[in-house]
Structure 1
Amino acid sequence: MTLLLLMVAAFSAVVRLAGAVIPMPVQLVPFAVSVLVFGLPHGALDHLVPARLRPGTSTIRSVLVVVALYLVVGTATAAVWVTAPLLGFAAFIVVTWFHWGQGDLFIDRLLDDGTAGRLGAALTVAVRGALPMLVPFIAQASAAAAVVIGTVTSLGGTPAAAAVEVPAAARVAGGALVATLIVLHLLAVRRARVPLWRQATEDIVLVIFFAVVPPVLAVGLYFTLWHSVRHILRLELTDSVAAEQLHHGRLLAPFLRFMRQAWPITAIAVGMLVVLALALHRADLGVYLALIAALTTPHAVIVTWMDRVQRTWHCAPTTDHEISPT
């Protein structure tokens, strides 16, 4: 996947040097695909997570608790977006920063290849969430701000309220923050006495990717093929049948099993997207982002609980990490 992102970055750089632009319909393809594959479905099994990870929890109780969480937290998130779209978008960036960092932290723990301890975990979450959430606003401020403006206006915000500009000083400060986080992250990896090459390669490639590739295309690809795929793997490892298949090197069968399990909730989410589009009399990226935001907040709560149960933040890379279903 790292190689694919680097290839997309190289292609985008060539297009830019040629004085051309990647058409917006092309940039939107990953988001369109994510509606049915990887992206939207990656959180569709949240209702089964408590039953899978906590012995003695019935499926009915698991479903009821998670549905209640989504109703309360998701509705509160949606209310913020409706009443103050710009604030909602800002909160979405913060939540996604943390949540996407969580995803990479789990993979590091799974591979026993990354930082050690809670401080190392915090560094991993900080840097890996910052790359997709900050770098576009630093390297491509106008294009990134245009996404914010388009989303806010899609939800009824006024152009004046949606006027987002990234001051030069803020971009410099943001760049310094990202650079500092990367250095600290790699120093923590080195201190953990694990090979440095994977973490350094991913950090560098992600910086290049989000600095060069148009923000819509970059975030869409990352969401669909990086973050969502990694979380689906995490969910497959909580299912005894899928985990056994993975341990035997089979990848397709566990994924097809996941998709069969995820399709009912995915269908409900797609229905919600259709209703939202009809209510707003438009179907664009802004509408989709608003729905994703309402789903991401409770989903991040579930993943944070998974981190606690699986002791993701406590495990050092040299410690056996319990990932098998309970």
Structure 2
Amino acid sequence: MSHSLRFSLPVQSALSQTTVRWPMLLLGGVVLFSPLIQWLPETVLYLPFLLSVVIFGLPHGAVDHLVPARLMSLPRRRSFALVGALYALAGGAYLLFWLLSPALAFVSFILLTWYHWGQGDVYTLYAVSGLDSLGNQVDRWLTILLRGGFPMFIPLLSHPGQYEQVAVAIVSLFDPAAVPMLAVVFDPSIRIGGVIAFTVLTLVVIALGYYRVHTGIDPHRGWLGNCAEIGLLWIYFWVLPPVFAIGVYFACWHSIRHIGRLAAIDDRSVAAIERGSIKTALRQFGSDAAPLTAASLIVFVGLFIGLSVGIDANSLLAVYLVGIALLTLPHVLIVTWMDHTQLPSWVATE
């Protein structure tokens, strides 16, 4: 069955509310309480990542096995077999990379997540907010660089010490001797140049968006919404502790947006949304995601045992993030295929 991006009005309204307005209100509220959050104990700051194991974060990728079935009308067993094989091959190869070169693997994970979280926002901006200019290759890649850079790059610029603490904990799981290889990433000169470059990128994206409105490609309202999100994300990731900020963003921004995308290609969820029952659609997602969410926990248990990890907060977070990394690579491949299936051609257009 073909699922176009021309949603019915109830679905469009529901997606706009749940994947755009609610995450913005949540992150905006968190920013208001940032002076208090700065003083929370370290263990409390890790709480969003802990909750993401069962609330939206980890589960948002646990429906990948149904994506080919929904987009290509494949039998469920064949869809499951194809995606299962992809996860086994890609995840296994990525684990080998982590074992052989943990420092490079960590950098690759940051870059992979940068791309993936950027592509997630591109879909929402195009399909929900109506920014048709993102069908253009240049606009799309600039937006991917900007949007993915907020959670992956801004915390490095604003809180380098905390960012480095997590990086060291992750790499040390595999080879403490590889930690010095990360030094170049945290060089102060890199951060100064990074602030300048990212500021320029922000201004370019905003200016290009205004030009697209002026030429009639994008709606003015969509551009204003994009600017509001850009401003919020700049502030959010600049002022908040990285672990807390990224944990909340992962579960309540990125994952919710992807869940909305999944709902839009599920006939049962679409029917529920058109009846005004978002809760029914969420329950359907939870039911679909529960089995593989539980199965994914085996990956984390295996890493915990295999790497002989301590039970301090940093080590446990490191194991969780490595587990997420192993699941992220095949997940990104699935989502990139979804992009090529659902979004306009990646060939540059005028």
Q: TM-score when scaled to structure 1?
A: 0.90
**Aligned match of 1:11:** 33
Match in the other structure for 1:287: 319
Which residue pairs with 1:322 in the alignment?
A: none
* Alignment partner, residue 120 of structure 2: 103
After the TM superposition, which residues 86-235 of structure 1 pair with which residues of structure 2 at under 5 Å, given as runs? Answer: 86-114=103-131, 116=133, 117-118=135-136, 119-158=138-177, 160-161=179-180, 164=183, 166-193=186-213, 194=219, 195=221, 196-235=223-262
Q: Cα deviation per residue 1:15-62 (whole Å; 9 max; x = unaligned)?
A: 65xxxx32111111111111111011101111111111014x222221
State the shift of 1:143 in Å: 1.2
Q: Could you tell me how far 1:314 is from its partner in structure 2?
A: 5.9
**Stretch moving more, 81-90 or 149-158:** 149-158
Q: Report the alpha carbon displacement of residue 276 of structure 1 after superposing the two structures with TM.
A: 1.6
Cα 1:113–1:190, aligned 2, differ >3 Å: closer, same or farther? farther
Alignment partners' CA distance in 2, 1:176 and 1:184: 12
Q: Is the 8 A contact 1:121 1:313 kept in 2?
A: no
CA contact (8 A) 1:12 1:212 kept: yes
Per-residue deviation at 1:176?
A: 1.7
Distance 2:343 2:239 in 1: 36
Shift of 1:68: 1.2
- Report what 1:318 is aligned to: none
* 2:88 paired with 1:68: no
Deviations 1:274-323 (A, max 9, x none): 222122232500000000000001100000000011025669xxxxxxxx
Structure 2 vs 1, CA of residues 47 and 158 (structure 1 numbering), >3 Å: closer, same or farther?
same
- Structure 1, residues 101-145: CA drift from partner, whole Å, max 9, x if none? 111111111224336032222222111001111101111111111
Gaps of 5+ in 1: 316-326
Letter in 2 for 1:302: I
Kindly indicate whether the alpha-carbon contact (under 8 Å) linking 1:155 and 1:280 is maintained by their aligned counterparts in 2: yes
**C-alpha contact 1:115 1:188 (8 A) present in aligned 2:** no
Give the alignment's Cα RMSD to 1 decimal: 1.9
AA in 2 matched with 1:305? W
Answer yes or no: is 1:303 the counterpart of 2:335.
yes
Tell me the equivalent position of 1:40. 58
Residue segments in structure 2 that go unaligned for 5+ positions in a row? 1-22, 214-218
Structure 1 equivalent of residue 43 of structure 2 = 25
1:51 to 69, 79, 87: 69
- Size of the aligned set, in residue pairs, is 310
Letter in 2 for 1:120: D
Given residue 75 of structure 1, which amino acid in structure 2 is its aligned partner?
Answer: G
Distance 1:61 1:162 in 2: 43
Give the conservation status (yes or no) of the 8 Å contact 1:45–1:262. Answer: yes
Residues 146 and 198 in structure 2, CA contact (< 8 A), matched pair in contact too: yes
Q: Which moved more, 1:204-213 or 1:243-252?
A: 243-252
Tell me the SS of whatever aligns to 1:30.
helix
2:266 counterpart residue number: 239
Deviation per CA, 1:64-83, whole angstroms, max 9, x where unpaired? 11111111111111111122
Partner of 2:280: 253
Judging by fraction of residues, say which structure has more helix.
Answer: 2
> How far apart in 1 are the matches of 2:206 and 2:231?
11
- Which SS does the other structure have where 2:343 is aligned? coil
Q: Quote the offset at 1:258 in angstroms.
A: 0.6
TM-score, scaled to structure 2:
0.84
